[in-house]
Amino acid sequence: MKLATTHQPVYHVPMRTLHWTMALCIIALFVTGPIMVAFDAKDTLRPAFYSFHKSIGALIVALVFVRLAVRWLSQVPPLPAAMPPGERLLAHAGHWLLYAMMVAAPLTGWATSDMYGYGVKFFDMPLPKLFPTLGAETGAQAGDVHTVVAYLFLALVGLHLLAIAKHRYVDRDCVMHRMA
Ligand code: HEM
Ligand code: HEM
């Protein structure tokens, strides 16, 4: 059964709430990630940054599955009628790639921590070990994969914002109200 929708072509309130909560968390991860890896090993702020980054990252794992379930249950507003088929395809592909990144980025981060043997906590609460401890060398390799995935994700978010700006300033069929 689908959740009730209004007559306006806008995303359902739970979808909008999840979009903005997760966007805020993901921006915090894009900011804390590069800062924490640049810290000196003995810097007293380093553990706090890692703990925050991992906790918020773990939250993303949980929220992305809630969001996919909510999306499945709610009605997604149709794209603007005037949008050409090629652009529609691009919009759908972009959105699904963003979802793929919301799964891949935190899981590769989780793999990095588990493979090093540090484990993952949500602040003070220990979370399940999802990957085996494989030592520093494999941990570092997983960290490289996480870094590449994270920056690909950042590039995709950049394209997402460009697409929204194009609708606002070129196509003049602003889509912001659908998610605002
Ligand atoms: C959407 C989720 C996430 C994003 C966007 C993200 C983003 C980033 C970024 C941008 C960096 C810095 C890479 C660099 O400049 O070298 C980083 C590093 C790191 N992140 Fe994440 N992260 C996410 C989730 C997680 C999670 C869930 C964990 C662990 C539970 C985690 C653990 C780490 C670790 C251990 C590093 C250091 C990697 C290394 O030493 O090379 N991240 N992350
Ligand atoms: C930072 C991380 C962000 C991620 C991961 C993200 C992800 C997504 C995804 C996956 C969708 C598709 C929703 C669906 O159909 O299920 C979406 C839609 C949307 N996002 Fe974002 N978003 C981010 C940031 C932003 C920001 C900063 C803005 C505004 C400046 C924004 C504005 C929108 C709008 C307006 C839509 C609706 C597009 C439409 O009409 O189809 N997003 N976002």
Which tens digits make up the pLDDT trace of 63-84? Answer: 999 999 999 999 999 988 888 9
Q: Is it the case that residue 4 has pLDDT exceeding 50? A: no
Rounded Cα distance, 153 and 105, in Å? 8
Tell me which ligand sits closest to the C-alpha of residue 163. 2
Please tell me whether residue 178 adopts helix, strand or coil conformation. Answer: helix
pTM as predicted: 0.95
**Mean per-residue pLDDT of the chain:** 94
Pocket test for ligand 1, best of 53, 131, 145 (most atoms within 8 A of CB): 53
Please provide residue 155's backbone torsions phi and psi, each rounded to the nearest 5 degrees. Answer: -65, -40
Average pLDDT over residues 131-159: 98
Pocket probe mutation, ligand 2, options 12, 19, 61, max atoms within 8 Å of Cβ: 19
Query: How far apart (Å, rounded) are the C-alpha atoms in residues 43 and 161?
Result: 35
Instruction: Mention every residue, 6+ apart, whose C-beta is less than 8 A from residue 99.
Output: 64, 67, 68
Q: Which ligand has the shortest distance to the CA of 173?
A: 2
What residues does ligand 2 touch, defined as CB less than 6 Å away? Answer: 19, 23, 26-27, 71, 76, 95, 98-99, 102, 157, 160-161, 164, 175-176, 178-179
Q: Is 80 exceeded by the pLDDT of residue 2?
A: no
Q: Residue 5: which pLDDT band, with cuts at 50, 70 and 90?
A: very low
CA 50 to chain centroid: 18
Percent of the chain with pLDDT over 70: 96
147 burial type by CB count under 10 A (0-12 exposed, 13-18 middle, 19+ buried): middle
Among 83, 157, 160, 174, which is best to mutate for testing ligand 2, by the most ligand atoms less than 8 A from CB?
A: 160
Q: Does the beta carbon of 106 sit less than 6 angstroms from any atom of ligand 1?
A: yes
Query: Is the model's pLDDT at 6 over the cut of 50?
Result: no
Task: Answer for the pair 142, 115: CB distance below 8 angstroms, yes or no.
Answer: yes
Span 83-104, mean pLDDT? 96
